[in-house]
Amino acid sequence: MKTFTRSWVSSSLPKKQHKYVAKAPLHIRHKMMSAHLSKDLRVKHKKRSFPVRKGDKVKIMIGKYRGVIGDIERVDTRNYKVYVKGAELKKKEGTPPVAYPIHPSKLQIITLNTDDKKRIKALERK
């Protein structure tokens, strides 16, 4: 079985696009898990999108929970999913609600978690 290779660069074939995403290592998957920045952040940082992280405040733009604003509780890089506080499935049996997985491309970052110095440097980079 072949491993991940960066020589793919770009292809219009869906087969190759899927293979690139499916076999990507975690450090590259993290870069793929980016969400759009709000208009204020876009002007401030001169970036269109940025990778999501636990603690970021986001707004859900598409799907069942559209319009919900909440903090990111967990980021699942293996499955390309993000879990947002407030977007939870309520069970009929009365058991506790279950976190609903959302793809990061369906989110908009409202405020960034800037506790880490490396993340601040990444924002300042071109």
Examine residue 14 and state whether it is found in any structural domain, yes or no: no
Q: What is the CATH number of the domain that holds 110?
A: 2.30.30.30
Give the closest residue to 99 by CA, choosing from 121, 78, 76: 76
- What domain range is 72 assigned to? 35-124
In a domain, 22, yes or no: no
What pLDDT score does 20 carry? 85
Band of residue 42 on the pLDDT scale cut at 50, 70, 90:
very high
52 band by pLDDT with thresholds 50, 70 and 90: very high
Helix (H, G, I), strand (E, B) or coil at 111: strand
Quick check: is 4 in a domain?
Answer: no
The answer to whether residue 84 sits within a structural domain is yes
Q: How many domains does the chain have?
A: 1
Alpha-carbon separation of residue 56 from 12, 74, 76, 93 (angstroms):
33, 10, 14, 32
Residue 10 pLDDT = 76
What is the distance between the alpha carbons of residues 102 and 100, in angstroms, rounded to a whole number? 6
